[in-house]
Amino acid sequence: MDLSVLQYEVVDRVAVIRMSHPPVNAFGPAFLEDFEKVLERLGKRGEARAVLITSAIPGLFSAGDDVSQLREIDDSLLELHPRAVATFDAFEALPMPTVAAINGHALGGGFELALTCDFRFMATGSGLVGLPEVRLGMIPAFGGTQRLTQLVGKAKALELMFKGLQLEPEDALQAGLVTAVFPSEELYERSLDYAARLARQATGALASIKSAVNIGLREGFRRGMKEEARMFRQNIRSHDAKEGVEAFLDGRKPSFKGQ
Protein backbone atom coordinates (compact mmCIF):
# COMPACT_ATOMS: atom_id res chain seq x y z
CA MET A 1 0.00 0.00 0.00
CA ASP A 2 1.55 3.26 -1.16
CA LEU A 3 1.01 5.93 1.51
CA SER A 4 2.47 9.42 1.70
CA VAL A 5 1.31 10.94 5.00
CA LEU A 6 0.10 7.91 6.96
CA GLN A 7 2.05 4.95 8.30
CA TYR A 8 0.36 1.56 8.55
CA GLU A 9 1.34 -1.71 10.17
CA VAL A 10 -0.43 -4.64 11.81
CA VAL A 11 0.68 -5.60 15.32
CA ASP A 12 -1.00 -8.50 17.13
CA ARG A 13 -4.06 -8.29 14.83
CA VAL A 14 -4.29 -4.53 15.45
CA ALA A 15 -3.99 -2.14 12.50
CA VAL A 16 -1.80 0.70 13.78
CA ILE A 17 -2.26 3.96 11.85
CA ARG A 18 0.21 6.76 12.52
CA MET A 19 -0.43 10.22 11.11
CA SER A 20 2.75 11.80 9.75
CA HIS A 21 1.81 14.99 7.95
CA PRO A 22 3.73 17.95 9.45
CA PRO A 23 3.20 20.48 10.74
CA VAL A 24 -0.28 19.73 12.12
CA ASN A 25 -1.51 16.48 10.47
CA ALA A 26 -3.96 18.56 8.43
CA PHE A 27 -6.78 16.84 6.54
CA GLY A 28 -5.79 17.87 3.03
CA PRO A 29 -6.05 15.86 -0.19
CA ALA A 30 -3.01 13.68 0.57
CA PHE A 31 -4.31 12.82 4.02
CA LEU A 32 -7.76 11.90 2.73
CA GLU A 33 -6.33 9.85 -0.14
CA ASP A 34 -4.18 7.84 2.27
CA PHE A 35 -7.05 7.40 4.71
CA GLU A 36 -9.31 6.11 1.94
CA LYS A 37 -6.64 3.56 0.98
CA VAL A 38 -6.36 2.39 4.59
CA LEU A 39 -10.13 2.07 4.92
CA GLU A 40 -10.29 0.03 1.72
CA ARG A 41 -7.58 -2.31 2.99
CA LEU A 42 -9.29 -2.71 6.36
CA GLY A 43 -12.48 -3.57 4.55
CA LYS A 44 -10.92 -6.26 2.36
CA ARG A 45 -7.87 -7.89 3.87
CA GLY A 46 -9.17 -9.35 7.15
CA GLU A 47 -5.68 -8.99 8.57
CA ALA A 48 -6.77 -6.77 11.48
CA ARG A 49 -9.49 -7.16 14.08
CA ALA A 50 -9.03 -3.80 15.82
CA VAL A 51 -7.58 -0.39 14.92
CA LEU A 52 -5.31 1.99 16.80
CA ILE A 53 -4.76 5.52 15.48
CA THR A 54 -2.06 7.82 16.79
CA SER A 55 0.49 10.37 15.56
CA ALA A 56 4.11 10.09 14.53
CA ILE A 57 4.65 13.79 15.34
CA PRO A 58 5.77 14.34 18.96
CA GLY A 59 3.39 16.50 20.96
CA LEU A 60 0.70 16.64 18.28
CA PHE A 61 -2.14 14.27 17.45
CA SER A 62 -3.84 16.53 14.89
CA ALA A 63 -5.14 20.06 14.57
CA GLY A 64 -7.36 19.12 11.63
CA ASP A 65 -6.71 22.26 9.62
CA ASP A 66 -3.63 24.38 9.10
CA VAL A 67 -5.02 27.77 10.16
CA SER A 68 -2.53 29.57 7.94
CA GLN A 69 -4.35 28.10 4.92
CA LEU A 70 -7.73 29.45 6.04
CA ARG A 71 -6.94 33.10 5.28
CA GLU A 72 -8.45 32.68 1.82
CA ILE A 73 -11.36 30.24 1.49
CA ASP A 74 -11.77 28.97 -2.06
CA ASP A 75 -13.95 26.36 -3.74
CA SER A 76 -11.24 23.69 -3.59
CA LEU A 77 -11.27 23.82 0.21
CA LEU A 78 -15.05 23.64 0.37
CA GLU A 79 -15.08 20.71 -2.05
CA LEU A 80 -12.88 18.73 0.35
CA HIS A 81 -15.43 19.02 3.14
CA PRO A 82 -17.94 16.33 2.07
CA ARG A 83 -15.06 13.98 1.26
CA ALA A 84 -13.61 14.47 4.75
CA VAL A 85 -17.01 13.96 6.38
CA ALA A 86 -17.55 10.75 4.39
CA THR A 87 -14.09 9.51 5.42
CA PHE A 88 -14.79 10.19 9.09
CA ASP A 89 -18.17 8.46 8.83
CA ALA A 90 -16.57 5.42 7.19
CA PHE A 91 -13.91 5.22 9.89
CA GLU A 92 -16.55 5.41 12.62
CA ALA A 93 -18.57 2.67 10.89
CA LEU A 94 -15.70 0.16 10.71
CA PRO A 95 -16.99 -3.19 12.02
CA MET A 96 -14.13 -3.47 14.50
CA PRO A 97 -13.10 -1.68 17.70
CA THR A 98 -11.20 1.56 17.16
CA VAL A 99 -8.88 3.21 19.67
CA ALA A 100 -7.27 6.66 19.57
CA ALA A 101 -3.97 7.08 21.42
CA ILE A 102 -3.96 10.88 21.69
CA ASN A 103 -0.25 11.57 22.14
CA GLY A 104 -0.40 15.36 21.73
CA HIS A 105 -2.76 18.23 21.03
CA ALA A 106 -6.02 17.09 19.41
CA LEU A 107 -7.92 20.23 18.52
CA GLY A 108 -10.66 21.07 16.05
CA GLY A 109 -10.78 18.49 13.29
CA GLY A 110 -8.13 16.46 15.06
CA PHE A 111 -10.38 15.95 18.02
CA GLU A 112 -13.33 15.34 15.71
CA LEU A 113 -11.33 12.43 14.26
CA ALA A 114 -10.71 11.10 17.76
CA LEU A 115 -14.44 11.36 18.46
CA THR A 116 -15.13 8.86 15.68
CA CYS A 117 -13.21 6.23 17.67
CA ASP A 118 -14.85 3.89 20.14
CA PHE A 119 -12.24 4.65 22.81
CA ARG A 120 -9.86 7.56 23.42
CA PHE A 121 -6.76 7.47 25.63
CA MET A 122 -4.46 10.32 26.62
CA ALA A 123 -1.22 10.65 28.55
CA THR A 124 -0.56 12.91 31.51
CA GLY A 125 0.74 16.25 30.27
CA SER A 126 0.49 15.15 26.64
CA GLY A 127 -1.55 18.06 25.28
CA LEU A 128 -4.98 19.61 25.01
CA VAL A 129 -8.22 18.39 23.44
CA GLY A 130 -11.27 20.34 22.36
CA LEU A 131 -13.25 22.00 19.63
CA PRO A 132 -12.07 25.65 19.79
CA GLU A 133 -13.29 26.69 16.32
CA VAL A 134 -15.51 29.42 17.76
CA ARG A 135 -12.35 31.32 18.70
CA LEU A 136 -11.79 31.72 14.98
CA GLY A 137 -15.43 32.64 14.37
CA MET A 138 -16.00 29.15 12.92
CA ILE A 139 -17.81 25.96 13.86
CA PRO A 140 -16.79 22.28 14.02
CA ALA A 141 -17.49 20.85 10.59
CA PHE A 142 -16.50 17.16 10.60
CA GLY A 143 -19.29 15.87 12.80
CA GLY A 144 -18.08 17.40 16.05
CA THR A 145 -21.33 19.14 16.94
CA GLN A 146 -23.16 15.80 16.79
CA ARG A 147 -20.61 13.35 18.16
CA LEU A 148 -19.59 15.54 21.09
CA THR A 149 -23.24 16.06 22.06
CA GLN A 150 -23.91 12.32 21.93
CA LEU A 151 -20.84 11.73 24.09
CA VAL A 152 -21.36 14.27 26.88
CA GLY A 153 -24.90 15.62 26.46
CA LYS A 154 -26.27 18.90 25.14
CA ALA A 155 -25.39 21.32 27.96
CA LYS A 156 -21.78 20.15 28.35
CA ALA A 157 -21.20 20.00 24.60
CA LEU A 158 -22.54 23.52 24.13
CA GLU A 159 -20.36 24.81 26.96
CA LEU A 160 -17.25 23.21 25.46
CA MET A 161 -17.97 24.53 21.95
CA PHE A 162 -19.42 27.96 22.89
CA LYS A 163 -16.35 28.74 25.01
CA GLY A 164 -13.90 26.98 22.74
CA LEU A 165 -12.49 25.14 25.76
CA GLN A 166 -9.27 23.20 25.44
CA LEU A 167 -8.88 20.63 28.20
CA GLU A 168 -5.89 18.99 29.87
CA PRO A 169 -6.00 15.18 29.98
CA GLU A 170 -7.32 14.92 33.54
CA ASP A 171 -10.06 17.50 32.86
CA ALA A 172 -10.94 15.72 29.62
CA LEU A 173 -11.29 12.47 31.56
CA GLN A 174 -13.56 14.11 34.12
CA ALA A 175 -15.70 15.63 31.35
CA GLY A 176 -16.09 12.22 29.69
CA LEU A 177 -14.13 13.12 26.56
CA VAL A 178 -11.55 10.37 27.01
CA THR A 179 -11.70 6.83 28.37
CA ALA A 180 -8.52 6.83 30.45
CA VAL A 181 -5.32 8.77 31.11
CA PHE A 182 -1.99 6.94 31.33
CA PRO A 183 1.58 7.99 32.16
CA SER A 184 3.13 9.39 28.97
CA GLU A 185 5.70 6.61 28.61
CA GLU A 186 2.92 4.00 28.79
CA LEU A 187 0.35 5.53 26.43
CA TYR A 188 1.18 3.65 23.24
CA GLU A 189 1.78 0.24 24.80
CA ARG A 190 -1.32 0.37 26.99
CA SER A 191 -3.48 1.61 24.12
CA LEU A 192 -2.13 -1.15 21.88
CA ASP A 193 -2.70 -3.74 24.59
CA TYR A 194 -6.29 -2.55 25.01
CA ALA A 195 -6.90 -2.82 21.27
CA ALA A 196 -5.18 -6.24 21.10
CA ARG A 197 -7.36 -7.58 23.92
CA LEU A 198 -10.45 -6.50 21.98
CA ALA A 199 -9.03 -8.11 18.83
CA ARG A 200 -8.88 -11.46 20.62
CA GLN A 201 -12.57 -11.36 21.53
CA ALA A 202 -15.50 -12.45 19.39
CA THR A 203 -15.08 -9.53 17.03
CA GLY A 204 -18.08 -10.57 14.94
CA ALA A 205 -20.21 -10.03 18.04
CA LEU A 206 -18.40 -6.77 18.78
CA ALA A 207 -19.21 -5.58 15.25
CA SER A 208 -22.89 -6.41 15.78
CA ILE A 209 -22.97 -4.55 19.10
CA LYS A 210 -21.25 -1.55 17.54
CA SER A 211 -23.69 -1.49 14.63
CA ALA A 212 -26.74 -1.62 16.89
CA VAL A 213 -25.38 1.07 19.22
CA ASN A 214 -24.44 3.45 16.42
CA ILE A 215 -27.72 3.04 14.55
CA GLY A 216 -29.67 3.59 17.75
CA LEU A 217 -27.75 6.78 18.43
CA ARG A 218 -28.18 8.07 14.91
CA GLU A 219 -31.70 6.93 14.09
CA GLY A 220 -33.43 6.47 17.43
CA PHE A 221 -34.40 3.76 19.91
CA ARG A 222 -36.88 1.84 17.75
CA ARG A 223 -34.52 1.68 14.77
CA GLY A 224 -31.75 0.55 17.10
CA MET A 225 -33.97 -2.23 18.48
CA LYS A 226 -34.65 -3.44 14.95
CA GLU A 227 -30.92 -3.51 14.23
CA GLU A 228 -30.28 -5.37 17.47
CA ALA A 229 -32.84 -8.02 16.47
CA ARG A 230 -31.31 -8.31 13.00
CA MET A 231 -27.82 -8.65 14.44
CA PHE A 232 -29.03 -11.27 16.92
CA ARG A 233 -30.47 -13.45 14.17
CA GLN A 234 -27.21 -13.11 12.25
CA ASN A 235 -24.93 -13.63 15.24
CA ILE A 236 -26.64 -16.54 17.02
CA ARG A 237 -25.64 -19.00 14.29
CA SER A 238 -22.07 -17.74 13.97
CA HIS A 239 -18.91 -19.77 14.58
CA ASP A 240 -17.98 -17.65 17.58
CA ALA A 241 -21.38 -18.00 19.25
CA LYS A 242 -21.13 -21.79 18.90
CA GLU A 243 -17.54 -21.73 20.14
CA GLY A 244 -18.39 -19.50 23.09
CA VAL A 245 -21.20 -21.75 24.30
CA GLU A 246 -19.19 -24.96 23.83
CA ALA A 247 -16.15 -23.47 25.60
CA PHE A 248 -18.32 -22.40 28.52
CA LEU A 249 -19.89 -25.85 28.84
CA ASP A 250 -16.49 -27.55 28.47
CA GLY A 251 -14.90 -25.29 31.08
CA ARG A 252 -12.22 -23.98 28.72
CA LYS A 253 -11.16 -20.66 27.25
CA PRO A 254 -12.88 -19.96 23.91
CA SER A 255 -10.88 -19.53 20.71
CA PHE A 256 -12.73 -16.90 18.70
CA LYS A 257 -12.14 -16.37 14.99
CA GLY A 258 -14.12 -13.17 14.56
CA GLN A 259 -16.76 -15.03 12.54
Q: Give residues with Cβ within 8 angstroms of 57, minimum separation 6.
A: 19, 20, 22, 23, 25, 104
From the list 33, 40, 112, 185, the catalytic residue is 112
Q: 230 in the Ramachandran plot: left (φ > 0), alpha (ψ -120 to 50) or beta?
A: alpha
Burial class (CB in 10 A: 0-12, 13-18, 19+), 169: buried
d(CA 232, CA 234): 5
Residues 246 and 259: their CA atoms lie apart, in Å, by: 15
- H/E stretch holding 18 reads strand 14-19
Single out the catalytic residue among 33, 72, 133, 170: 133
Decide if 112 is catalytic.
Answer: yes
Concerning whether 133 is annotated as a catalytic residue, the answer is yes
Residues with catalytic roles = 112, 133
